[in-house]
Amino acid sequence: MIPLAWYLYLSAALFSIGVFGVLARRNAIAILLGIELMLNAVNVNLVAFWRYGDPTVMSGQVFAVIVFAVAAAEVAVGLSLVYSIYRRRRTVIADELDLMKW
Amino acid sequence: MSIENLIWLIPLPPLLAFFLIILFTNKWKGLSHTIGVSAAGLSFIGSMIVFFSAIQVEHFGEGEHIFASSINWLPTGEGFFKIGVLIDPFSAVTLFFVAITIFMIFLYSVGYQNYGQPKGDHDHMGLPPHGATIVDEHGHSHAVLSVEPMYSRFFAFLGLFAFGMYTLVVSDNLLTLFVGWEIMGLCSYLLIGFWFAKPSARDAAIKAFLTTRVGDVFMLLGLAYLYSVTGTLNYRDIFYNAEVMHHLSETITPIFGLSTAGLIGLLLFIGTIGKSAQWPLHIWLPDAMEGPTPVSAMIHAATMVSAGVYMAIRIFPLLTAGWHGHELTPTMTFVAFIGTFTAIFSATIALAQNDIKKVLAYSTISQLGFMIAAVGIGAYVAAAFHLITHAFFKALLFLGSGSVIHGMEHGILHTGNHSVDPQDMKNMGGLRKKMPITFWTFLIGGLALSGFPVVTAGFWSKDEILADAFGHGQWVVFITLAVAAFMTAFYTMRQITMTFLGEPRTKEAEHAHETTWTMTTPLVVLAFFAVTFGWIGVPEHFPGLGGVLPNWFHHFVSGTLLEHPESVEFSWIPLGTSLFVALGGLTLGWFVYKDYKAGQPDPLENPFGKLYPVLQNKWYFDELYSATFYRLADWISGVFTPFMDQVVIDGILHFFARSTGVIGNTLRDKFDKPIINELIGDGTAALVQKGQVLKYLQTGRVQSYLFGTVSAFIVIAALLYYFF
């Protein structure tokens, strides 16, 4: 069986890629993608710990499913926000969307 | 390596190529196409090994005489959902044609996307290449074709597409078939919209995606229903299992009084309607011609639209459950109606199109209708046979049309007149002298499509469908298909005459040029199969030839079914009909169009009168759909937005906003101003000053906040780690 640590490495790598995407990409959609990666990294962790911990307790899987559902809703809201921002401002570059500053 | 393991590996090289190209070799065009083409080549070799081992097995398809292997995939409570690979006679022959056409299309794309040509002067991503100027040693400058700016990406998408198709063919259950199906749906969206900076291509991509989605939803319902009834989606466990099939065909559902098998078959079949562009979901396929021509060949001939028919033939036992060879079941009647109607309906549209690719698109829809009609009347082998011969000659025709367009573009760059549409057949003529290889191969493909007697593959397969329709006593189907076949021959000859025969009608056509070897080789290979593939399915009682060549195809493919279908008795009537429609249509097409000159109205315009614009505008189906479905959706959102969004949702928000506003104002006037301000006096000045400095922390940029959050998190985590 594959050791637990491997899943954690995978998850950490995914999470780091996600964080990098969120911080470094300028395109708002790419930032959303980064957030998705981070959420799924968490899911990998949850499911891995569930499997290697006590598989009869389903809470790890349930938690992951809830994360999916929330992530789906978040994408729907996030994408429609990006879309309506694009309609108004003709840009999805995060740096240019700074109306809410001092 | 055992054959079973090899089958697992067949879909993988194109997928690997996709990732390699996307992730690493995007910058190097030559390397990218080398990876793409060799991946297609590897899958091709694997498929051929599998196919040739399959045909050597005695009684292949019966009982345990198949190649199958499966693994546990998804835990489902009591057991596992298994996925695996299966090669039975039908998927073996499908694999054969899929492998050949895909490999040829990969090779062809190298030439079509102008590999080796200079970079264009004004080319940019998302637009077709406009051409480049080069200066030769004498100081003359020439306009030449320029290389596609997103060359590598094209091969990556083709690779993913090929992966989807191979997955679909080798899978042993409807779920992985559906996975491959959807991967192809995505890729067709990406490839139709490959030149995404063209608004028409973008719209066509969205249209194709949404239209096929309609079918896919029903198909998914069918899959869920089938799984809930039988507990498996494996072909062999359902279709090859008399007990399960008996149970499915005996239970009656409340919907239209159909049997369970009939209803599930119907739902799955609606998926086919979407994927194979049958009426009423045919509207996406002609628009899909916006994609590069190899894509049209890939999607509209070899793979994706064939996938729909492939599934319809796969679920044949479901569709025909309860059928005893005489009266059609309700499901079969529906299938036969859709197929027959589509066949004749889109043949009429093809009569009046001038775009060389649009004619082929409508003829594809029409030919798919033939296959669906064959499934509907229970002609299992004929449908499979026509699927394969059609894939060969239609891929050939599409690639040939791409070669023609390429030659015309060459002419356009030579004359510099960019207002000439390189796809409009009215601008062509006389290309046979300029592009001999393209002409001869296109002629072979066209004759095969028309069903030119005895020599071409199309004759044998189309004749078999007609013979089956006649033999089963389906008069309406028989006559309608015969008329459609007549039109097919007519518009094919019209296309050949307008494009290749006569004299050039424009300067551009005079300067057209034969294309490179990477484009002509696939044409020659496919032309070979467009002729010879028919000879393996010559009916046994065919006068003269029957018995000389064994009807190998029928014997081999019959093995897929539990009850082997009988071949119909020979009769002169369908044979005479198919001879008459093929030759008559071809001759008439030649006579009507042989003297067609530039600037003349189309010779059909007068005799057809008011009907002609209707045909040219595709029976106004696009307009009908935008007047009904589009308007309906628009109306619903028009009603919904003001009421639900602006009254209810915004109302709730406004209520909270106003009430907090009221509370805040009250507090300020009654409490803050009279009491607090009076007590403190001017002591807030220092606070305001600090705020002036600190306010720059609020940049308004989401990423600087995120950066702050992450930094703070790291610092806190480090501190916690250090102290605990």
**Tens-place pLDDT, residues B592-651:** 888 777 777 777 777 777 888 887 787 888 888 888 888 898 888 888 888 888 888 889
User: pLDDT tens digits, residue range B104-116?
Assistant: 888 888 888 877 7
Name chain A contacts of B701, Cβ cutoff 8 Å: 94-95, 97-98, 101
Statement to judge: residues B35 and B83 lie in one domain: yes
**Residues B278, B344 contacting (CB under 8 angstroms):** no
Query: Domain boundary at B564, B584, B607, which?
Result: B607
The answer to whether residue B308 sits within a structural domain is yes
The answer to whether residue B531 sits within a structural domain is yes
Q: Helix %, strand %, coil % for chain B, to 5?
A: 70, 5, 25
Question: Domain of B45?
Answer: 1-113+148-169
Statement to judge: residues B555 and B438 lie in one domain: yes
The answer to whether residue B363 sits within a structural domain is no
The answer to whether residue B11 sits within a structural domain is yes
- The verdict on a CB contact (< 8 Å) between A98 and B703 is no
The answer to whether residue B342 sits within a structural domain is no
Statement to judge: residues B179 and B165 lie in one domain: no
**Residues B471, B379 contacting (CB under 8 angstroms):** no
Statement to judge: residues B499 and B563 lie in one domain: yes
Task: Please tell me which residue of chain A has the smallest CA distance to B708.
Answer: A23
Most confident listed range (B151-165, B283-297, B314-328, B583-597): B151-165
B347-384: burial string, b at 16+ Cβ within 10 Å, e else: bbbbbbbbbbbbbbbbbbbbbbbbbbbbbbbbbbbbbb
Q: How far apart are CA B112 and CA B110, in angstroms?
A: 6
Query: Domain boundary at B582, B607, B632, which?
Result: B607
User: pLDDT tens digits, residue range A12-37?
Assistant: 999 999 999 999 888 999 999 999 99
Q: Does A22 touch chain B (CB under 8 A)?
A: yes
Q: Over 70: is that where the pLDDT of B78 sits?
A: yes
CB count within 10 Å of CB B627 equals 11
Statement to judge: residues B495 and B450 lie in one domain: yes
User: pLDDT tens digits, residue range B49-64?
Assistant: 999 888 888 777 777 7
Q: How far apart are CA B146 and CA A86, in angstroms?
A: 33
Out of A23, A100, A101, name the one closest to residue B703 (CB): A23
User: How many domains does the structure of chain B reveal?
Assistant: 5
Q: Which of B300-309, B329-338, B431-440, B539-548 shows the lowest per-residue confidence on average (mean pLDDT)?
A: B539-548
Statement to judge: residues B433 and B575 lie in one domain: yes
- Torsion angle of the four alpha carbons B12, B13, B17, B19, in this order, in degrees rounded to the nearest 10: 20
- The verdict on a CB contact (< 8 Å) between B702 and A94 is yes
The answer to whether residue B105 sits within a structural domain is yes
The answer to whether residue B357 sits within a structural domain is no
Q: Coil, helix or strand for B81? A: strand
**Residues B305, B342 contacting (CB under 8 angstroms):** no
Higher-pLDDT residue of A34 and B247 is A34
Q: How far apart are CA B185 and CA B161, in angstroms?
A: 9
ipTM: 0.85
Statement to judge: residues B288 and B210 lie in one domain: yes
Task: Identify the CA nearest to B46 among candidates B15, B84, B83, B4.
Answer: B4
Statement to judge: residues B587 and B624 lie in one domain: no
Q: How far is B694 from chain A (nearest CA, A)?
A: 10
Residues 651-710 of B with CB under 8 A from A: 695-696, 698-703, 706-707, 710
Statement to judge: residues B408 and B298 lie in one domain: no
CB count within 10 Å of CB A6 equals 10
Residue A83 has which token pair? 């879309």
The answer to whether residue B331 sits within a structural domain is no
Statement to judge: residues B578 and B661 lie in one domain: no
Q: Over 80: is that where the pLDDT of B577 sits?
A: yes
Domains recognised in chain A with CATH numbers: 4-93 (1.10.287.3510)
Statement to judge: residues B568 and B556 lie in one domain: yes
Statement to judge: residues B430 and B579 lie in one domain: yes
